[in-house]
Chain A
Amino acid sequence: QKEVEQDPGPLSVPEGAIVSLNCTYSNSAFQYFMWYRQYSRKGPELLMYTYSSGNKEDGRFTAQVDKSSKYISLFIRDSQPSDSATYLCAFTSGFQKLVFGTGTRLLVSP
């Protein structure tokens, strides 16, 4: 079993749609749950992180963590063409390496 599973997509949606991106993981030691965004030919950038379970909102973005199910989600409201990118989930237990998912490619059409 892979440590992190993430659907590679691509996921195509029209502008204004609500987008749901998900990852599952197997390592119970993970305590920090992150979403990175990567534009073509650029390095990934941190969007937001969550510690332990619960929800976190930042503008149009909401991150959810369900530790009991080992499942995390990122919701994007009112999606924009500029949101078109690859979204990678990432995990760490603390002072350890960051483990990334394979990334989901999102395409938002005008």
Chain B
Amino acid sequence: GAGVSQSPSNKVTEKGKDVELRCDPISGHTALYWYRQSLGQGLEFLIYFQGNSAPDKSGLPSDRFSAERTGGSVSTLTIQRTQQEDSAVYLCASSPGHPTPVMNTEAFFGQGTRLTVV
């Protein structure tokens, strides 16, 4: 694909339900990020995958949030027992990630998944 693809583009869910958000990064990119952006706010870091290294999960706001990246490609962000404060745009990005650190500076973002918890 030409860019980072996220699905679904919009998701409305009832409070307490689980949701799964999918990200297809650019082929060959070893670094993958999840951020979320609330209305009028900046990008809140959630999780970062870099190659085969252990992911940086330091931004996950609670144990209801988890993410995995299978085969170094597709990633899924799962939110269990959704709450209204989880409503936001969830952005995925990927970058070449290697062989030099500068390859980590340009992150290519998808269009995001707009999650609304009602």
- Residues of chain A having any CB pair with chain B under 8 Å: 6, 8, 31-32, 34, 42-46, 49, 51, 88, 92-103
Task: Categorize the interface residue count of chain B.
Answer: 20 to 34
Question: Is B109 a contact partner of A100 (Cβ separation < 8 A)?
Answer: no
7 contacts between A and B (CB under 8 A): A8-B40, A43-B91, A46-B107, A49-B102, A95-B97, A97-B45, A98-B93
Q: Within the assembled complex, what's the spacing in Å between the Cα atoms of A56 and B17?
A: 48
Q: Separation in Å of the A53 CB from the closest CB of chain B?
A: 16
Q: Is the CB of B45 within 8 A of A99?
A: yes
Q: In the complex, what distance in Å separates the CA atom of A103 from the CA atom of B43?
A: 8
Main secondary structure of the interface of B (DSSP, over half): loop
B25 within 8 A of A: no
Which of A42, A49, A96, A102 lies in contact with B41, CB distance below 8 A?
A: A102
B116 at the interface (CB under 8 A from A): no
CA distance A95 to B48 in the complex (A): 10
Q: Is B1 an interface residue (CB 8 A)?
A: no
Q: Beyond A95-B97, A97-B48, list 14 extra A-B contacts (CB 8 Å).
A: A42-B111, A43-B110, A44-B43, A44-B91, A45-B109, A92-B104, A94-B101, A94-B104, A95-B98, A95-B101, A97-B45, A97-B58, A98-B107, A102-B41
CA distance A32 to B106 in the complex (A): 11
B:25-50 near A, CB below 8 Å = 33, 35, 40-43, 45, 48, 50
Q: A32-B101, A46-B105, A102-B41 are in contact. Are A97 and B110 (CB under 8 A)?
A: no
Taking a contact as CB atoms under 8 Å apart, the answer to whether B42 and A102 are in contact is yes
Contacts of B20 on A, CB cut-off 8 Å?
none
User: A49–B45 contact, CB under 8 A?
Assistant: no
Q: How far is the CB of B32 from chain A (nearest CB, A)?
A: 11
Beyond A43-B111, A99-B45, whether A49 also contacts B106 by CB under 8 A is yes
Residues of A within 8 A of B59 (CB): 97
Q: Which residues of B contact A45 (CB under 8 A)?
A: 109
Give the top 3 A-B pairs by smallest Cβ distance, nearest first. Answer: A43-B109, A102-B42, A94-B101
